[in-house]
Structures are given as C-alpha cells and as structure tokens.
C-alpha cells in the first residue's frame, strides 16, 4: 500500500511537471517576438508541445533516419522547454567539436553523471579544474604508461582463457565483459582491488552501473531504488579506495596503474588530489572504458566470425607477426597489427557505444549545411550530433551499412575523404576520447591471443543492437563454439 502511494505520488508530480512545462511553452510562444534569424527547420511533431518529446523517446536514431532525408543536415527538435539542434555530418560539425567551452559546454548536459562520479570531479567542477583533471588522465595514459598496461592486459588474457577447455561453447559477450573488467581492475583500479577485493568492487560497480537509467538523465536525484543502491555503492567505494590510498602512502609503495597516477597528481597550484577526487576520477575512467571495450570487442568478434575473408586476413597477419616476434606480445607488437586495427575501427564505426553527443550553446553561431543553406543557431539551444548516424552517411562511406575494414586502408581512407570529422566514434576536437589508445591496445591484446590459440564458429544468429541501453551495445547472447589450436608461425 505504501509503495502504491509512493508510485501515485511520483506519477502526480510527473504530471504536474509536464503540465507546467506545457503551459510555459504555450505562453512563451504567444508573447515572444518572432526572430529574424535564419533558424534551422523544425521537426513537425504531434501533438504540439510534447510531440517532439514523444518522438525522441521512441528512439533518437529512428527519428534521425526519418527526418534527415526531409530536413537535411541541420534541424531542430522541440523538447517541451528545450530546443535540440542536430548537426549531422562533417560539413556542419566543426563548431561542435572545436568550439571553446565558453561557447559550447559539456557541463550542463552531462551533470546527471555527478551522483555516480561523485562531487568535485569532471562535471561537478568548473572548466579550468576539469582541464587539469583531464591532464591527469592524459599523464596516466601516456605511451610509457601504456606499455606497462599492455603487459598486464596480456597476462590477464592468458590467465582467463587458460581456464577454457579443449573445446566447448561460450557466450562471447559474457566472457569478454568479464575479462575486460578484470583487466580494467588491474590496470586502472590497482593490484589491491584485482587480487583481494575484485568481487566486492565489481558488485559495487554493478550497482553504480544499474543506477544510470534513462530517467537519470532528467532526474538524477529521484529517490528510486536504483538511485538509492547507486548512492550506497558510491559511499562504499569511497571508503575502500580511501583505505587503499592511505595504505600506499603509509607504506611508500608505488604501483604501475592509474590509481597511482591519480594519487601522485598535483594541480598547477601545487595542491595534491584528495581521496574523494581520486575515487571519482577512477570511477569516471572505468565508466568511460569498460563498456566501450567490452562492446567493441564483442562486435569485432561477431563480424570476424560472420565474414570469413576478414577472419582469414587477421589470422594471416598474426602468422606474419609471429614469424618476426614469435609468441611475444607487447605494446610495440600490438602496434604492428594494422589489419586487426582496421577491423576494430570498422566495428566501432558501425556500432559506437555512445550514439549521441551533446553540448549546451552559450553564444549564437552559424553553420552552412551540406545542402548550401546557412543557419543561425541561437544561444540556449542544446547542440547534438550522432556518431551512430553520422558514421553511416552514404556520401562519406561506400555501402555504409556493410562491414568493410578495408575502407580505412591506405589509398581508400574513407574516414578522411570528407573532412576531419567524418569518423566520430571517439568524438573529436577539444573533447576527443583520451582513452582511445588504451581501448585499441586492450581489444588487440585480447583478440591476438584468441586468434593465435582458438578456432571459432558463430553458433547463435548474428547479434542485434540493444537500443534500450544507456551505452548502446549487443542485445542478448553471442554464442560461439571454440576449439583449441596453436597458430603456427
């Protein structure tokens, strides 16, 4: 009974919020003077005022597929009290990726992450502090550090797959998810977590992950069970990492992991990072990398097993590299795997885990669309682009829905032919993904081991896309049949 009353209360509050926004929108439309600006076309939605919201909730990619052919590369969606202007394609995306934070900012649109990452980090601080914290990430991911991380990735892959039998069937998606969280724990969170606290920390991260729901974007502090579990897990993680940080400082021991880098980081004024900041930065790093790597490694495997010619190409590359280096794998050896790199990149083109990128506009700006039309984008609009849609534009990519890794080969370079922002799976410009090199190395370390030691066959149907997830990945299981074999150099 109490739960029913609580649900009824939330429902009534929700109705009141929507009603208030609708009335405000109608009043604004009546009293605001008409603008003389060359505004982008607006998506026509029914019913008025909330029609755009309903269309958006059905799925942004479905909406883009419907509206892009009609409206072109620049158009606006009215979301009750917000205007979202989409910039689709490299011809109109330069300002989105290059604009300063004072013109187009991330902070307002991504503040829903604050309860998960915690106070005092990333989107809970002003831009100058956030820039310094991103510098900490850059230092933790520089080439000298990555070389040490690769050694740990290789060991984790060897240990994990040594537990498989001579043959069998597994859910590739499940296996890769588990291996990547183990690898991330060792490289990012530290030896103490990987060796002693993995199960506890993994369960807490699971609660954090499940506390990131679509409704969290609009109401991140809504007192629902998933948010309460998220907040409880966040407090426990803070306590665990505080103990690890203090233990390392007291013992004077130093480890080769991201945790150690954050402990030793200092701001420009000489101030060291706090325990809370270190915990928040680690959580942000794991959230940024874990899903992307597990999703992309799964799609890469699924496509290789579906298209035997590309599987043969990556196996042949492994044979060539083994003739040169034997069984040894390190950072430099992984960097030679260009065919495998192109396969991973193509899987990411077709299936970027983040399907929407958003900014808040703080100043007017103008763009010229692919069709040659000039538009003025007003201050106050949310500006958006979609890697999932833009990466499949037919005027950039030949047969854009096909898996064709050779489109990135020298001489074709389809991702560069139409301009700098033709390929945006990792974003670009000022806010390009800092973890891109780490992700490629991690996925290469896993798949080079699998290609050298196993034969695979896809048993289940080719997987579908899970559009309902916050980070869009693979829907359902990806069952494969494996058999051990040693690849000869």
| Distance from C-alpha of 255 to C-alpha of 67, rounded to nearest angstrom | 52
Write the DSSP assignment of 193-239 as a string of letters. Answer: IIIIIHHHHHHHHHHHHHT--HHHHH-TT---HHHHHHHHHHHHHHH
187 is in an annotated binding site: no
| Distance from C-alpha of 208 to C-alpha of 187, rounded to nearest angstrom | 20
Token code pair at residue 350: 């077709």
**CA diameter of the chain:** 76
Listed residue (286, 291, 184, 283) closest to 240, CA to CA:
283
| Distance from C-alpha of 99 to C-alpha of 105, rounded to nearest angstrom | 9
Q: Which residues lie below 8 Å from residue 407, measured CB to CB, with a gap of 6+?
A: 346, 397, 398, 414, 415
Quick check: bond before 47 cis, omega within 30?
Answer: yes
| Residue with the two structure tokens 């922002």 | 421
| Distance from C-alpha of 489 to C-alpha of 476, rounded to nearest angstrom | 36
Q: Which residues lie below 8 Å from residue 299, measured CB to CB, with a gap of 6+?
A: 347, 348, 350, 351, 463, 474
Token code pair at residue 114: 């604050």
Q: How many other C-beta atoms are found inside a 10 Å radius of the C-beta of residue 446?
A: 26
Return the bridge partners of 79, or none: 82
Return the bridge partners of 104, or none: 361
| Distance from C-alpha of 216 to C-alpha of 203, rounded to nearest angstrom | 20
Task: Give CA 238 to chain center in angstroms.
Answer: 23
Return the bridge partners of 170, or none: 480
Q: Which residues lie below 8 Å from residue 319, measured CB to CB, with a gap of 6+?
A: 487, 488, 489
Listed residue (366, 172, 132) closest to 267, CA to CA:
132
Rg (CA), the chain: 24
Q: Phi and psi at residue 382, in whole multiples of 5°?
A: -85, 130
Residue numbering of the annotated binding site = 433
Binding site for heme, residues? 433
């Amino acid at each position: 009974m109490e739960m029913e009353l609580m649900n009824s209360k939330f429902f009534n509050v929700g109705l009141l919020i929507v009603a208030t926004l609708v009335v405000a929108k109608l009043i604004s439309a009546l009293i605001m003077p008409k603008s003389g600006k060359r505004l982008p076309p607006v998506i026509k939605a029914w019913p008025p005022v909330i029609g755009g919201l309903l269309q958006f909730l059905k799925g942004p990619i479905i909406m883009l597929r419907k509206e892009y052919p009609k409206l072109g590369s620049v158009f606006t969606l009215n979301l009750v009290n917000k205007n979202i202007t989409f910039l689709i394609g490299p011809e109109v995306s330069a300002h989105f990726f290059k604009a300063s934070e004072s013109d187009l900012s991330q902070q307002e649109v991504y503040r829903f992450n604050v309860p998960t990452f915690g106070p005092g980090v990333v989107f809970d601080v002003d831009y100058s502090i956030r820039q310094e914290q991103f510098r900490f990430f850059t230092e933790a991911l520089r080439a000298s550090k990555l070389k040490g991380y690769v050694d740990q990735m290789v060991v984790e892959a060897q240990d994990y797959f040594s537990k498989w039998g001579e043959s069998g069937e597994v859910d590739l998606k499940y296996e890769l998810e588990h291996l990547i969280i183990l690898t991330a724990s060792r490289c990012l969170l530290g030896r103490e977590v990987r060796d002693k606290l993995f199960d506890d920390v993994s369960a807490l991260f699971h609660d954090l992950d499940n506390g990131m729901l679509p409704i969290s974007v609009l109401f991140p502090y809504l007192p629902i069970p998933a948010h309460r579990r998220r907040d409880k897990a966040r407090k426990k993680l803070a306590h665990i990492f505080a103990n690890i940080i203090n233990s390392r400082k007291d013992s004077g021991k130093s480890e080769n992991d991201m945790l150690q880098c954050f402990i030793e980081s200092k701001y420009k004024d000489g101030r060291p990072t706090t325990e809370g900041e270190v915990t928040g930065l680690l959580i942000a790093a794991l959230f940024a990398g874990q899903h992307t790597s597990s999703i992309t490694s799964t799609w890469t495997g699924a496509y290789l097993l579906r298209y035997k010619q590309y599987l043969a190409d990556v196996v042949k590359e492994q044979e060539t590299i083994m003739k040169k280096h034997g069984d040894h794998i390190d950072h430099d050896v992984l960097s030679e795997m260009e065919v495998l790199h192109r396969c991973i990149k193509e899987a990411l083109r077709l299936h970027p885990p983040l399907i929407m990128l958003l900014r808040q506009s703080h100043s007017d700006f103008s763009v010229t669309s692919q069709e040659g039309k000039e538009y003025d984008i007003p201050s106050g609009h949310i500006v958006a682009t979609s890697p999932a849609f833009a990466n499949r534009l037919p005027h950039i990519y030949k047969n854009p829905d096909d898996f064709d890794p050779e489109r990135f080969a020298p001489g074709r370079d389809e991702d560069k032919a139409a301009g700098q922002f033709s390929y945006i799976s990792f974003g670009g410009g000022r806010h390009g993904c800092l973890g891109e090199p780490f992700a490629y190395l991690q996925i290469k370390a896993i798949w080079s081991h699998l290609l050298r030691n196993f034969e695979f066959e896809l048993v289940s149907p080719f997987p579908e896309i899970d559009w309902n997830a916050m980070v869009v990945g693979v829907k359902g299981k990806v069952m494969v049949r494996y058999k051990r074999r040693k690849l000869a150099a």
